[in-house]
Chains A and B, each alone.
Chain A
Amino acid sequence: MFYREAGQFKSTYAADMAVFPIRQDRIGIAVILLLAFVGVPLIGNDFFTSTVMIPFLVFSLAAIGLNILTGYTGLISLGTAAFMGVGAYAAYKLTTFFPGVNIIVLVLVSGLFSAAIGVLFGLPSLRIKGFYLAVATLAAQFFLQWAFVRVPWLFNYNASGAIEVPQRLFFGIPVTGASASPETRYFVCLVLVVVLTWFASNLVHGKLGRSWMAVRDMDIAAELMGIKLLNAKLLAFAVSSFYAGVAGAMMIFFWYGGGEAADVFNIRLSFNILFMVIIGGLGSLIGSFFGAAFIASLPTILKFGLPALGVPLSGATAEHVTFMLVGALIIVFLIVEPHGLARLWQIGKQKLRTWPFPY
């Protein structure tokens, strides 16, 4: 009734090619942005901001990165966490060498390092496909994880082997380190995520996105259309790893604030991000957000939700039950909607469009 595009005529191709061609969608996005920029800091307390919102943003960005690779280009990767790690360590080394340079710039630059490493490990994708490639990306995961531990230069020869994030100011306000307030860190993350999502959306809606999807759907035909497979695939690896790298740097600098970085970027994180992409919806940017929200919040919800429902759980049992539930939910989700939450969202919108007279 309220969600209907009737009467909205498009008279230019530009209007027809807009990412949100329907006015109600544009209003919806504006409301969400308003909520994110104004609502959350006003309503949410520190706990909510730092343990729910910041992780959600970080995971969303990583999921967008992986979605570009897996959802849009059809290359499965099990090494996302390692690329995130490259970003984190690159940002750490950069801020050690150039303490004066703005930390946000450095976080973005560290994505470039991650992109370079991603291209390197993407090279085999020319010759191998599917699960073979997935296994090849495990090489990246384990090798880089090893390097994070064994190359002391990466963590400035700290005895603990951990990254210690120094305090960095942004226009006089601390954005990293112990004294940075959750709100500040949240704002920095939010701005980065919004801007980078906008770029990603532009890329996937343009020529490059079409080339990626062509490679995904029918690589041979794509090649005969004049798309250079290697370039398209490596570019996907580069962009994907850039996003992962920035997400990793954000994770250490704005969320964890340092610590056991080598353990953070392990294979389980790679799997979790793959879950987010699949449950959210392959080949959908908005799905990446849904997936991140779902997977990132599930353990928290179970941890606090089950006792609230009167199911008493000890710490260890809660963990086991969480594992079981996550496993079961993944299966249920795949059975109910293999195309992910993004598809459910679409179906919902379609229903809403015809509501209340579906015939």
Chain B
Amino acid sequence: MNAEPMNVTGEPMTGKGEVLLAVENVSLRFGGVKAISDVSFDIRKGEVRAIIGPNGAGKTSMLNCINGFYHPQEGRITYKGARRDKMKPHRAAAAGIARTFQNVALFKGMSTLDNIMTGRTLKMKRGFFWQALRHGPAMQEEIEHRRVVEDIIDFLQIEHIRKLPVGKLPYGLQKRVELGRALAMEPELLLLDEPMAGMNLEEKEDMCRFILDVNNQFGTTIALIEHDMGVVMDLSDRVVVLEYGRKIADGTPDQVKSDQKVIDAYLGVAH
């Protein structure tokens, strides 16, 4: 059974052994509707973990549970060895979990620069009164973080839209800014919810490159939801497949690809 979470046989890489986040028997209900039932899987340090499944399979709800936006009724979520299935979203952020959203959730009234700077909020320590003065330590801190943000802007090649309000940018660029905002948090675990939805081929290739670079250069662990199978198979180390809130497969891309249940879920099966 390749539904076992522990039977990974993917190419062993350095640092990809430790479990960073473990989801155990998690169930989530909205009123009478079960969004997730009894799902278990883990995410290991340094890997790219894909969550796939047909629409309405509970993928986004799963991410929402992981970063504390929803609280599951049953099951446990363990992150870096500590149980945290009832954690608040801002705690999750402080613990190093960042994410992007299916429908771009940028701060539309702010510039690209300011959007990415909000990602540094948790790292900025100066109090209210220094901020009111905006001189001395507060200004130094701003400049320090501005440097980090400029590095991210360079990395994502969005220098030209630095000062533009993000609401008016094309969709592909908005997705890129959103990635930048998540990166600014210097996360250990980066959750990407359909980072390539609605993009053309070229934009997808760019985004793939950024994701791989983030994974390689910064060693960031990545969990992503994606519908483009080609992308998933190329990028990810391991894939978990959900259908109707249940896990139906878990393993390397090759294992998952040949799993009969997965094929049935995607192509439909005569009952």
In B3-31, which residues have CB < 8 Å from any A CB? none
B109 touches A14 (CB 8 A): no
20 contacts between A and B (CB under 8 A): A12-B143, A199-B133, A202-B132, A205-B134, A207-B117, A207-B120, A207-B126, A207-B142, A208-B131, A213-B110, A216-B109, A218-B106, A220-B105, A224-B89, A225-B119, A225-B121, A225-B181, A225-B185, A226-B93, A226-B94
Complex contacts, A211 vs chain B, CB 8 Å? 118, 121
Contact status A217-B108, CB under 8 Å: yes
Partner among B107, B124, B143 whose Cβ is within 8 Å of the Cβ of A222: B107
Which chain A residue has the least Cβ–Cβ distance from B130? A206
> In this assembly, does B168 line the interface, its C-beta being within 8 Å of a C-beta of chain A?
no
Q: Which residue of A lies closest to B106 (CB)?
A: A218
- Cβ-defined contact, B118 with A206, below 8 A: no
Chain B residues positioned under 8 Å from A210 (CB to CB): 110, 114, 117-118, 121
**A223 surroundings in chain B (CB, below 8 A):** 69, 89-90
Say if the beta carbon of B128 comes within 8 Å of chain A.
Answer: yes
The verdict on B138 contacting chain A, using a C-beta distance below 8 Å, is yes
What mask results when residues 111 to 154 of chain B are scored 1 for a CB within 8 Å of chain A, else 0? 00010011111101010100111100011001100110010000
Query: Besides the contacts A17-B142, A205-B134, what 20 more A-B pairs have beta carbons closer than 8 Å?
Result: A12-B143, A13-B147, A13-B150, A14-B139, A17-B139, A17-B143, A202-B132, A207-B117, A207-B124, A207-B126, A207-B142, A208-B128, A208-B131, A213-B110, A217-B107, A217-B108, A225-B185, A226-B94, A226-B185, A283-B109
- Contact between A17 and B109, CB atoms less than 8 A apart: no
B146 touches A17 (CB 8 A): yes
A-side binding surface: helix, strand, loop or mixed? helix
When chains A and B are docked, how far (Å) is the Cα of A228 from the Cα of B93?
A: 10
Convert A6-43 into 0s and 1s, putting 1 for each residue whose CB lies closer than 8 angstroms to a CB of B.
00000011100100000000000000000000000000
Tell me how many residues of A have a C-beta within 8 Å of chain B. Answer: 29
Closest approach, in angstroms, between the C-beta of B133 and any C-beta of chain A? 6
Does A84 touch B at the CB level, under 8 Å?
Answer: no
B221 within 8 A of A: no
A267 at the interface (CB under 8 A from B): no
Is B252 in the interface zone, CB < 8 Å from A? no
Contact assessment for B134 and A226 in the assembled complex, using a CB-CB cutoff below 8 Å = no
| Contact A13 B109, beta carbon cutoff 8 Å | no
* Interface flag for A221 (CB, 8 Å): yes
Q: Which residue of A lies closest to B167 (CB)?
A: A217
CA distance A220 to B88 in the complex (A): 12
The answer to the question of B67 belonging to the interface, with a C-beta cut-off of 8 Å to chain A, is yes
Q: How far is the CA of A214 from the CA of B138 in the complex (A)?
A: 20
CB distance from B62 to the nearest CB of A (A): 15
Which residues 133-185 in B have Cβ within 8 Å of A in the complex? 133-134, 138-139, 142-143, 146-147, 150, 181, 185
Q: Are B146 and A13 within 8 A (Cβ)?
A: yes
* Residues from chain A with Cβ under 8 Å of B214 in the complex: none
Report the nearest B residue to A201, measured CB to CB. B134
Decide: A206 and B143 in contact? CB cutoff 8 A. no
Minimum distance in angstroms from B144 CB to a CB of chain A: 9
Chain B interface, DSSP helix/strand/loop, else mixed: helix
Complex Cα distance, B139 from A12, in Å, reads 12
Asked if B92 lies at the interface with its beta carbon under 8 angstroms from chain A, I say yes
Q: Which residues of B contact A218 (CB under 8 A)?
A: 105-108
B99 at the interface (CB under 8 A from A): yes
* Residue A326 interfacial (CB < 8 Å): no
Let me know if B121 and A206 touch, CB within 8 A. Answer: no
Which residues in B have their C-beta under 8 angstroms from that of A12? 143
Q: Is A298 an interface residue (CB 8 A)?
A: no
**CB distance B143 to A202 under 8 Å?**
no
B210 at the interface (CB under 8 A from A): no
Q: Is the CB of B146 within 8 A of A224?
A: no
Say whether B132 contacts A226, CB under 8 Å. no
How long is the Cα–Cα vector from A202 to B135 in the complex, in angstroms? 9
**A227: Cβ under 8 A from any B Cβ:** yes
Indicate if the CB atoms of B109 and A206 lie closer than 8 Å: no
- A214, A227, A235 — which one has the most chain B CB atoms within 10 A of its CB? A214
Most buried by B among A203, A208, A224, A227: A224
Return chain B residues, CB-CB under 8 Å to A202: 131-134
B101 sits at the interface (CB 8 A)? yes
Question: Interface centre among A211, A226, A235, by most B CB within 10 Å?
Answer: A226
Expressed in whole angstroms, the Cα–Cα distance for A218 and B109 within the complex equals: 10
Q: In the bound complex, what is the Cα–Cα distance between A329 and B110 (angstroms)? A: 29
How far, in whole Å, are A283 and B131 apart by their CA atoms in the complex? 18
Indicate whether A222 sits within 8 Å of B118 (C-beta atoms), given known contacts A13-B143, A14-B139: yes
User: By the criterion CB–CB under 8 Å, are B138 and A225 in contact?
Assistant: no
**Neighbour of A226 across the interface among B90, B138, B142, B150, CB < 8 A:** B90
**Distance between Cα atoms of A154 and B150 in the complex (Å):** 54
Q: State the Cβ distance, A334 to closest chain B Cβ, in Å.
A: 18
| B-contact 0/1 string along A227-251, CB 8 Å cutoff | 1100000010000000000000000
Expressed in whole angstroms, the Cα–Cα distance for A288 and B67 within the complex equals: 39
Proximity string of chain B (66-90) to chain A, C-beta cutoff 8 Å, 1 when within and 0 when not: 0101000000000000000000011
